[in-house]
Structures are given as structure tokens and as C-alpha cells.
Structure 1
Amino acid sequence: MSKTDAVIVMDGNRLIGVDDFHSEFAAVFGFPAFYGRNMDAWIDCMSYLDEPDAGLSKLNVAAGQVLTIRIDNHKLFKQAAPQQWNDLLESAAFVNWRRTEAGGGAILALAYYG
């Protein structure tokens, strides 16, 4: 992924329900077959997007790059699955906190549309 391609667009309609949420992220990011389909596993996979050798995602970014995940139809997602919405926000923040605590930089940004 180049510096100019640092935005992934996801449809909030496809993220409603725990199974659908994890299936969609696993498909879009290319998580490994052993992906645990829970937020701890999501955090682990998203924490290493700039380390392709970690094998936790087929979608990778360059070191120092921040990936923006744009959630379209976020209002419906937030209304239909408020706990998942909160889990997404907290988990993305935790990924960035974990990385900055280890001396690295943030890797995730979230943007919301409609």
C-alpha cells in the first residue's frame, strides 16, 4: 500500500453483528486463518499492519504510515450495534496507545460517513 492509498472504506451495514464484523475485517484485511474473531485478536492483527513479516494481515502499510478506516453508513452501525461500535473505537485507540507506549507511532485513524 502506498502513501497515497492509506484509506480503506468499509460499509457499516456489513459490520452489524459480531460474526459479520469479524468476517468483514478478516476479508478486507486478509487476517490469517487462525484469527480468533474477537477484539483481542483484532487488536493484535491491526497492531502489526506495518510489519508484513508478522503474517497478521495481507493488507500492509509502510512504516510510519497511518491507515484511515472510513466507515460509511456509520450511523446505522452505531445505532444497530452500539457495543460493537464502542468496541471498535476503544480497540482502535488501544492499538495506537500500545504502539506509542512501545516507542512507535499511531497506525490507525477512523473516519465516519453517513
Structure 2
Amino acid sequence: MESAVQTQIVIIPADRIVDWESFHDVFDEALGFPGYYGRNMNAWIDCLTNADDAESGMVANPVARGDLLTLSLVDTAEFKRRCPEQFDALIDCTAFVNYRRREVGDGPLLALLIDGNFA
């Protein structure tokens, strides 16, 4: 019998994101990226691709191998309206992290928990 996948939920205060600088500030603060974090989406992808590798130091609180890191966005609908470029990049790059991991035989790692009404 397989064991159940556990998830670690990290709150992302998307209401504080107004541009690329604040996007990277918020994710860096929430996830504890290393001091050399490049503050671009390639660096974001690199950090989160390794969020289950404690030795890599890419996030302050890595998840166990096989578990999920769930990014819970606060005030998502307003974030999407205010920062459509950053919102789309978040969706695309989250999907790419999981794709990248699957390509090397690892399971998906990231999940998004999105609140709000998008109607």
C-alpha cells in the first residue's frame, strides 16, 4: 500500500504584489530562497524545482521527497487583475517546475491553492 502524499502549505500574500520586484520579495520572504536568489523567473523555477532537496538550500523549509509544496495565494482574483503578467508567469512557471521534474522521473512538487471568484 502506498503512503499518502503530504502537503506543506505556504501562504503567499499576493495582495502585496504590485510589480516584479514585489513579486520576488513576497516569494523570497515566504519560501526563504538563498541569498544568491537571482530575482527572476528562471531563478524562481530553479529554487522550487529543488524544494524537496534539503541539502540544496533552495528553500528554508523543504518538503519531504514525494510530498507537495502548496502555494496558497491570498486575494488571487485581485492579484490577477492588478498584475496579469506576474499571475500568468506564476501559473506557467509552476507548471514548468512540475514538467521539469517529470522529465527526470520525479513526481510533481508544486500545487497552487487559489482563492477568489474569477467570474
Structure 2 residue 23 is the aligned partner of structure 1 residue 14: no
Identical counterparts, % of pairs = 38
Structure 2 residue 98 is the aligned partner of structure 1 residue 90: no
**TM-score normalized by structure 2?**
0.89
Out of 99, 102, 117, the position equivalent to 1:100 is: 102
Per the alignment, residue 64 of structure 1 pairs with 66
Tell me, in whole angstroms, the C-alpha distance in 1 between the residues paired with 2:55 and 2:6.
22
Between Structure 1 and Structure 2, how many residues are aligned? 112
RMSD between superposed Cα atoms in Å: 1.2
More helix by share: 1
Tell me, in whole angstroms, the C-alpha distance in 2 between the residues paired with 1:109 and 1:5.
9
Per the alignment, residue 32 of structure 1 pairs with 34
Q: Say which SS state the counterpart of residue 50 (structure 1) adopts.
A: coil
Per the alignment, residue 82 of structure 2 pairs with 80
Q: Say which SS state the counterpart of residue 104 (structure 1) adopts.
A: coil
Provide, for residues 10-30 of structure 1, a one-character-per-residue CA deviation record: whole Å limited to 9, x for no partner: 121112210111011111111
Tell me, in whole angstroms, the C-alpha distance in 2 between the residues paired with 1:97 and 1:5.
19
Is the alpha carbon distance of 1:58 and 1:45 closer, same or farther for their aligned partners in structure 2, counting shifts above 3 Å?
A: same
C-alpha contact (below 8 Å) 2:13/2:26 kept by paired residues: no
Tell me, in whole angstroms, the C-alpha distance in 1 between the residues paired with 2:50 and 2:27.
15
Q: Which moved more, 1:13-22 or 1:41-50?
A: 13-22
**TM-score normalized by structure 1?**
0.93
Q: Which protein shows a greater Rg? A: 2
Tell me, in whole angstroms, the C-alpha distance in 1 between the residues paired with 2:86 and 2:41.
9
Q: How many Å apart are 1:4 and its aligned residue?
A: 5.7
Structure 2 residue 74 is the aligned partner of structure 1 residue 54: no
